[in-house]
Structure 1
Amino acid sequence: MHIVYVSDGKAGHRSQALGLFKAMQRQSVETVSFEEILIEDLALFPLLLGLFRRSIPQLQTTPDFIFGVGSHTQLRVLLLGKIYTQAKTVILMKPNYPFAWFDYSVIPAHDNVQAFDHVIVTQGALNPIVNEQRHQSGRILIALGGSSKRHQWHDEKVFTSIQTIVEQHSDSEIVLTTSRRTPASFVARLNAHPFLPQVHFFPVEQTPQGWIFEEMQKAEAVWVTEDSVSMIYEALTAGCRVGVIAMDRVKQDRITTSVDGLLTKGIVSESLLFAQLPEPNAFKEAERVATYLLAQ
């Protein structure tokens, strides 16, 4: 089985496609291969020629599935689906085109779309994480984001939350990390602060690719600033107990509503105490989607 992923080069989108590929790879009885091709390498005129030739030279192997994530990938996915008619097209978002134009659409619940035969609704975006059951008792991860179009960074509010977590868990091993959106002045403040010896600070610039996923496998609990919605779902998928560090909201939209839904259902908590965090949830959304696609 061969999967072609039409890529817009965005890491977050690629993570979703990889998550579904790896889940299908784990479940399939046959070998599953993965090929990524950038939209820049799929010019429209050669694709239109491919409609007549029933193939394009960029693909060496005939696909069984064609994945796309991101608005700019959708037209290419549609055209590839017309060239390779035996392949199933899968768009991992709410499409800009009619649902019927794709074989399957995988859409997060916050987009308020009803599930039906060819529309699969998920809790959050897919990711490549699985719970490897390696969580260490008393190990905590704090992951910081930054300002976004819906959240405003507030130094004192975030710093006070970090201090409370550290002070209330003096017997725990705590790993603290940032993102590329975390203000440089706040990173400098963290570097200068005399945290307790059990706090290990790793700014994002010092972490290799995949580091955060490995830390989630080891952490028993993860606190994430609420702007980092993808990390909230990644921590849930890893099998951690998850706390949300509140931030000032600039506006309310479908993404903030998604976080509020997790809080209301008791899947995550705004508490800064480990004992008050919900028990881990069995988040296996990529596995569930893979099972559905392979069964068709």
Structure 2
Amino acid sequence: MHIVYVSDGKAGHRSQAIGLYQAMQRQSREAVTFEEILIDQLPIFSLLLATFKQSTSAVAQSPDYIFGVGSHTQLRVLLLGKVYPQAKTVIMMKPNFPFTWFHYAVIPEHDGVEASAHVIITKGALNPIVNEQRHQKNRILIALGGSSKRHQWNEEKVLASIDEIVKTHPQADIILTTSRRTPNAFLAHLNESPLASHLHIFPVEQTPQGWIFEEMQKAEAVWVTEDSVSMIFEAFTAGCKVGVIEIDRLKSDRITQMIDKLLSLPCVEENQQGLINLQLNEADRVAHILLKNRDV
């Protein structure tokens, strides 16, 4: 079984495609191969010509599935589906085209779309994480984001949340990391505060690729600022209990409403300070649907 992934080069989008590919690889009885092709290698005019020839030199092997994530991949996925009509087209987002033009649209629940024969609804975006069952008791990870198009960083709120986590878990090993959106001044202020002595601080610039996913496998609980939506769902997928650190909002939309819905879920235990236990395995669930309906 061969998968062609039409890539826009964005790491977050690639993570979704890799997550679904690896889940299909785990579940399939036959070998599953993966070919990534950048959109620059698939000019629209060339694809239009290729629909008449039923082949294109850009694709090394005839695909069984064609994946796309990102607005600029949609038309190319559709055209590749015409070049290789035996392949199933899978777009991992709410598409700009009619849903029925794709075999499957994999859409996060917060986009407000109804499930159908062509639409698979997921909790959050897909990711390549699996729960490796290596979580260590009393090990906590704090992952900080920053300002975004819908959030404004609030140092006072974040410091108060970290203080509460430290006080509530006096025996815990608490690892804290930042993101590229975290203000530089925040770490300087944190290091000057008494809180620093209770934390193992790893600025994002000092962490190698994959470091945070490994930390999620070891943490019993993960606290994430609410702007980092992908990381919240990655922590759920890793099997962690998850706490959301609230910061200021610039606007209300489906994403913030989804965060509010998470915050309204029952907590694990009263003494665990708002931790949510929502075990997710969405990539495996979607892979199961695709493989089950492969010949349909």
TM-score normalised to the size of structure 2? 0.95
Give the residue type in structure 1 aligned to 2:117.
D
Give the residue type in structure 2 aligned to 1:86.
Q
Q: In the alignment, does 2:140 pair up with 1:140?
A: yes
1:152 positional shift: 0.7
Against the structure 1 CA distance between its residues 174 and 258, is the aligned structure 2 distance closer, same or farther, given a 3 Å change threshold? same
Q: In the alignment, does 2:176 pair up with 1:176?
A: yes
Which residue does the alignment assign to 1:260?
A: 260
Contact 2:20-2:286 at 8 Å conserved across structures: yes
Q: In the alignment, does 2:93 pair up with 1:93?
A: yes
Deviations 1:39-94 (A, max 9, x none): 11111122122112211111111111000001111011011000011100000010
Q: 1:294 aligns with which of 266, 291, 295?
A: 291
Alignment of 1:127-166 (within 5 A): 127-166=127-166
Q: Which 10-residue stretch deviates more, 1-10 or 45-54?
A: 45-54
Deviations 1:152-191 (A, max 9, x none): 1111111121122123222100110001110111122234
Q: What is the CA–CA distance in structure 2 between the aligned matches of 1:192 and 1:33, rounded to whole Å?
A: 51
Which residue does the alignment assign to 2:251?
A: 251
Q: Which 10-residue stretch deviates more, 43-52 or 232-241?
A: 43-52
Find the residue that maps to 1:139 and give its secondary structure: strand
Contact 1:136-1:218 at 8 Å conserved across structures: yes
Contact 1:262-1:268 at 8 Å conserved across structures: no
Q: 1:284 aligns with which of 239, 257, 281?
A: 281
RMSD value, Cα: 1.6
Contact 2:99-2:105 at 8 Å conserved across structures: yes
Contact 2:6-2:68 at 8 Å conserved across structures: yes
Contact 2:142-2:222 at 8 Å conserved across structures: yes
Alignment of 1:207-222 (within 5 A): 207-222=207-222
Which residue does the alignment assign to 2:201?
A: 201
Find the residue that maps to 2:136 and give its secondary structure: coil
Contact 2:268-2:274 at 8 Å conserved across structures: no
Which residue does the alignment assign to 1:123?
A: 123
Give the residue type in structure 2 aligned to 1:185.
A
TM-score normalised to the size of structure 1? 0.95
Contact 2:142-2:223 at 8 Å conserved across structures: yes
Contact 1:64-1:86 at 8 Å conserved across structures: yes
Which residue does the alignment assign to 1:4?
A: 4
Q: In the alignment, does 2:58 pair up with 1:53?
A: no
Q: Report the count of equivalent residues.
A: 293
Q: What is the CA–CA distance in structure 2 between the aligned matches of 1:267 and 1:234, rounded to whole Å?
A: 18
Which residue does the alignment assign to 2:167?
A: 167
Which residue does the alignment assign to 1:28?
A: 28
Runs (5+) with no aligned partner, structure 2: none
Find the residue that maps to 2:227 and give its secondary structure: coil
Q: What is the CA–CA distance in structure 1 between the aligned matches of 2:267 and 2:202, rounded to whole Å?
A: 27
1:111 positional shift: 0.8
**Identical positions, percent:** 67
1:275 positional shift: 5.6
Q: What is the CA–CA distance in structure 1 between the aligned matches of 2:268 and 2:31, rounded to whole Å?
A: 37
Contact 2:243-2:274 at 8 Å conserved across structures: no
Runs (5+) with no aligned partner, structure 1: none
Find the residue that maps to 1:221 and give its secondary structure: strand
Q: What is the CA–CA distance in structure 2 between the aligned matches of 1:240 and 1:50, rounded to whole Å?
A: 47
